[in-house]
Amino acid sequence: MEIGFQKIALAFNFTPTSKDLLQEALRIQKLFSSRLYLIHIGKDDENYKKMLNDVLKEMKLKENDYELIWSDGDPATEIIKTCSEQEIELLLAGALEKENIIKFYIGSVARKLMKYSPCSILIYKIPIIIKPFRKIFVSIDYSPLGEKAMQIAYQLAIKEGNPSLDVVREFYIPGLTATLQDSGDVGQLEDMIEKATKEEEEKTRVFLNELNLQNINIDIHCIYGKEKRAERNFVDENSPDLYIIPSKIKKPTLWERFLPMETEHIFEDLPSNILIVR
């Protein structure tokens, strides 16, 4: 079974990076033979049209190669709406590496998209480096969404011609250190974590076997920690070209504000280009 992206969309504006983004979008479009949608939020004025035409001409894009959608309103809301209406499967957008106050507005659009986009979303770290995703890390859990993330990572790695793929699985045993308070010793505790890590690796291996991913070398990293923090540190150390994580959309209920979603800190300061699978 091949999971791919039939329809991809690029959130397009006229910042200095938009040409790079467009070029990347075209690259991804080729990989998956998808249909490309360009979503631009802003007033439909002549000036913009001319700028856009210039860019598209420069990229040697013909009119049949893409579909252009103009919309006016709050950028994040409009992009999300368009993605739902057009049944987009993958949305591409750029994000600033670290936001300062002046850049906050643009950055916050990316952050909203990451949280609430109805489809999978690929966020590029800026400045964009146009090159294949050679080193891909994928975070998994054993849910159906985790399977989907793994399938996508696999497809992408194969299409990019990569010989290998890194799978990261974070796990945690709550309250374990409390045993030290009652005559437990560190050796026993660490043995247990080590044993649990081995078990987790075996589980991950079985999980991957079930997916039947052939012709690729998969490295498994099981990491003890919680809420993707330890995983995040591991990813930072290895600086991949793309980091894929499964993450559902969550509506911010009162409860959510109290207990923010676990991957949120990843969205705040991107470790690399990131593909959120949903």
Partner 1 sequence: MEATHPDIVILLLSISVMLFAAKVFGEIFIKLHQPAIIGEILAGIILGPTVLGTISPDIFYFLFPPQGSTNNALTGLINISVVLLLLISGMEVDFNVVLKNSSKALVISCFGIIIPFVIGFLMAWFFPVTLGISEINNKLIFALFIGTALSISALPVIAKTLMDLNIYKMDIGMMIISSAMINDLIGWLVFSVILGMMGNNSSHFNFLEILLFIILFFIILFVFLRRIIDQTVNYIQEKWSFPGSILNFILVLGIAGAAYTQYIGIHAVLGAFLVGIAIGEAPSLNQKVRETLNQFVSNIFAPLFFVSIGLGVNFIQNFNLGLVLIILLISIIGKVAGSYLGAKISGVDSTDSAIIGLGLNSRGTMEIILGLLALQVGIITDQVFVALVIMALVTSLISAPLMNILLSKRNLSDINSLINKKNIKISNAKTKEDAIDELCEVIANSHKLDKNEIKKAILERENMIPTGIANYLALPHCRYDKLQKPALAIAINKNGVDFKSADETPAKFIFLLVTPENKNELQLQLLADIVSKFQNREAIESILKLNDINKIEAELRKL
Q: Which residues bind partner 1 (CB under 8 A)?
A: 142-144, 172-184, 186, 188-189, 192-193, 196, 199, 202-203, 205-207, 209-210, 212, 224-230, 257-260, 262, 265
- Where does the chain have alpha helices with state H? 18-32, 46-58, 75-86, 104-116, 144-159, 186-211, 229-238, 254-258, 264-268
Task: Give whichever of 64 and 214 is closer to partner 1, judged by the CB atom.
Answer: 214
Cα dist from 12 to 17, 18, 75, 149, whole Å: 10, 6, 10, 25
| Smallest distance, partner 1 to C-beta of residue 253, A | 13
| Smallest distance, partner 1 to C-beta of residue 33, A | 25
Task: Give whichever of 158 and 176 is closer to partner 1, judged by the CB atom.
Answer: 176
Give the angle subtended at the CA of 215 by the CAs of 239 and 142, to the nearest 5°. 65
Rounded distance, CA 216 to CA 214, Å?
6
| Smallest distance, partner 1 to C-beta of residue 245, A | 15
Task: Give whichever of 74 and 210 is closer to partner 1, judged by the CB atom.
Answer: 210
| Smallest distance, partner 1 to C-beta of residue 273, A | 22
Task: Give whichever of 46 and 237 is closer to partner 1, judged by the CB atom.
Answer: 237
| Smallest distance, partner 1 to C-beta of residue 191, A | 10
| Smallest distance, partner 1 to C-beta of residue 229, A | 4
Q: Assess contact for 169 and 205: CB atoms under 8 A.
A: no
Rounded distance, CA 148 to CA 74, Å?
31
Contacts of 60 (CB under 8 A, 6+ apart): none
DSSP character at residue 178: G
Task: Give whichever of 85 and 202 is closer to partner 1, judged by the CB atom.
Answer: 202
Task: Give whichever of 186 and 216 is closer to partner 1, judged by the CB atom.
Answer: 186
Task: Give whichever of 3 and 230 is closer to partner 1, judged by the CB atom.
Answer: 230
| Smallest distance, partner 1 to C-beta of residue 201, A | 9
Q: Assess contact for 75 and 2: CB atoms under 8 A.
A: no
Closest residue by Cα to residue 42 from 4, 79, 1: 79
Rounded distance, CA 153 to CA 175, Å?
33
